[in-house]
Chains A and B, each alone.
Chain A
């Protein structure tokens, strides 16, 4: 096991910049998830850690060794690919034992290591099969098995679950997390799925356009998003945004929207009067039909019950607002309601830079 240190790393393909100075310290044994929309450079960063892409500028360290010019095979890492990349001409056990075979371990040691990994992953029955004789979920497990057999310093995962169906994905998510808690090997996990990121990570790294937007524990990123991008990307259903200008009256500051709607701002916010801002509030931080001082008028558009909870979409001025409640409100389309944002959970971002105020 080892720490991974990424120090001002740049990457471009020709004239197209893909990573613009990424720095990140990953602790020994930590499970870090790189999350961001497709094309933001997550895979590129992961592949640079693996040694599959050259580093244009900056340093990557594994343990205390700079690995910029170290071949992938000498980095003591294991990687699980999105398409699994199992060797089609080898049996499951040869696939899993390949790395040890290349390192000239004794046959008996390979067999016992493969046997242990297979038992952990429930692959015991399948060891003599070829990859093409396995289901998608089984292939995924073999890919995991191949990674854990050798007990590497670092695990790298590139969207390992995105080829599985929804149910299996949730199950494997839990299994990978449990496996990490047992093995305690440093892991860097790439996904575009923010739910995967939230549920699995010790720390989340949100990326966008080749730049790290925010790094922190999942709940911290959720509760205090550093900018509008992070706020909108993390969380499902997504945060509601309203554009307006900060104003003030006797009761305090508020964001004035069109239609004379006034959204209250918490006192500790740095948004000064006159600034154009984006006002953000998560669906679960809005109460329906409150008569609070800060409530705003709305009219119901769509009601989506899921059984567990209800999503209510309503119009505030011209903006569509999503509200999440564990109750089953008795509402119908067109009905006028009042919405009260929870002041402690309101986020205000600069309209131009998107930075949190």
Chain B
């Protein structure tokens, strides 16, 4: 027991330490950053970095862009993935194996390889340097994995539940809405959260497709804190801490859907 907890505590410490460091530097006055040496906590703390980031930088705009892109992506992907996953789980159709194989294939290439062709495609479509383009790309790249994730959630729901509903008086669609959907909510929540975080922290495409400050998401924006001659660590860390807030809020919100065992009791126990 003690061993287990010890090992877990050590792991948690290891995983969370960078976050702690982020927090620490974000409240350290610039003047102390290099003069105090390495300390666990600065002798004086300040909110100056936060004040600057929130009131004097473009960070609020980046933040808003990120929220729009991530929420949009997560919502669209979850709906698409749920539909795809349901079809994969419940129907036999010609070409199913091929479709699944192609979806899997898209996951196999390093994104860097695809950047140039995608850029070439997006320019004539007018999808560069705006949030819509970014959402389109994120949806395309997140849907396959999310679809397989959703399929596994649908696979976990016994087919007989739908069949019972269809005998009770549902069409396939009403059965989906009244019986399957309520039981897949945890799965949808997990997918939503997963895609949201992936989109929230994506840098590569955002960097390549976005030029103007107006359309920058926060990971790109964060780089603007690195100027040609210096890195403003304090402000950067403050922005980083603020960027963590939505992800935390989001997981707090969906975690009640993640609670396992909702389908327990459907079938024999």
Contact = CB atoms under 8 A, between A and B. Distances in A.
A50 interface: yes
* 7 tightest Cβ-Cβ pairs between the two chains A and B: A132-B265, A102-B169, A85-B160, A83-B267, A99-B168, A131-B265, A85-B164
Contact of A163 (B160, B179, B268): B268
Interface in B85-127: none
Interface string A66-94: 00000111010111010111111100000
Interface residues of B, number: 25
Contacts of B163: 50, 52, 72, 79, 81, 85
B183 interface: yes
A77 B167 contact: yes
A309 B56 CA distance: 95
A175 interface: no
A79 B167 contact: yes
B158 A85 contact: yes
B165 A139 contact: no
A132 B164 contact: no
B83 interface: no
Interface in B226-269: 261-269
B82 to A, nearest CB: 17
Nearest to A74: B169
Interface string A313-326: 00000000000000
B161 A87 contact: yes
Interface of A: 50-52, 71-73, 75, 77-79, 81, 83-89, 98-99, 102-103, 130-136, 139, 146, 150, 163
A46 B168 CA distance: 16
16 contacts: A51-B167, A52-B166, A79-B164, A83-B158, A85-B267, A86-B265, A88-B262, A89-B179, A98-B169, A131-B265, A132-B261, A132-B269, A134-B269, A139-B265, A139-B269, A150-B168
Given A87-B165, A88-B264, A139-B265, 15 more contacts: A72-B167, A73-B167, A79-B163, A83-B158, A84-B266, A85-B267, A86-B164, A87-B161, A88-B183, A88-B262, A98-B168, A132-B261, A132-B265, A136-B269, A146-B164
Contacts of A51: 166-167
Interface string B145-174: 000000000000010110111111111001
A71 B171 contact: yes
Nearest to A130: B265
Contact of B265 (A72, A77, A88, A103): A88
Contacts of B265: 86, 88, 130-134, 139
B7 to A, nearest CB: 33
Nearest to B172: A71
A81 B160 contact: yes
Interface string B58-101: 00000000000000000000000000000000000000000000
A98 B166 CA distance: 11
Interface of B: 158, 160-161, 163-171, 174, 179, 182-183, 261-269
B160 A102 contact: no
A165 B164 CA distance: 24
A129 to B, nearest CB: 10
Contact of A89 (B166, B169, B170, B262): B262
B268 A83 contact: yes
Contacts of B165: 87, 98
A132 B264 contact: yes
A133 B261 CA distance: 12
Nearest to B261: A132
A73 B166 contact: yes
A87 B179 contact: yes
Contacts of A150: 168
A81 B267 CA distance: 9
Contacts of B166: 51-52, 71-73
A52 B269 CA distance: 25
Contact of A102 (B168, B264, B267, B268): B168
A84 B267 contact: yes
B169 A73 contact: yes
Contacts of B182: 89
A114 to B, nearest CB: 13
B130 to A, nearest CB: 41
B170 A102 contact: yes
Nearest to A158: B160
A130 B265 CA distance: 8
Name the residue among B164, B169, B174, B263 with the largest chain A CB count within 10 angstroms.
B164
A78 B169 CA distance: 10
Given A73-B169, A102-B168, A139-B269, A83 B160 contact: yes
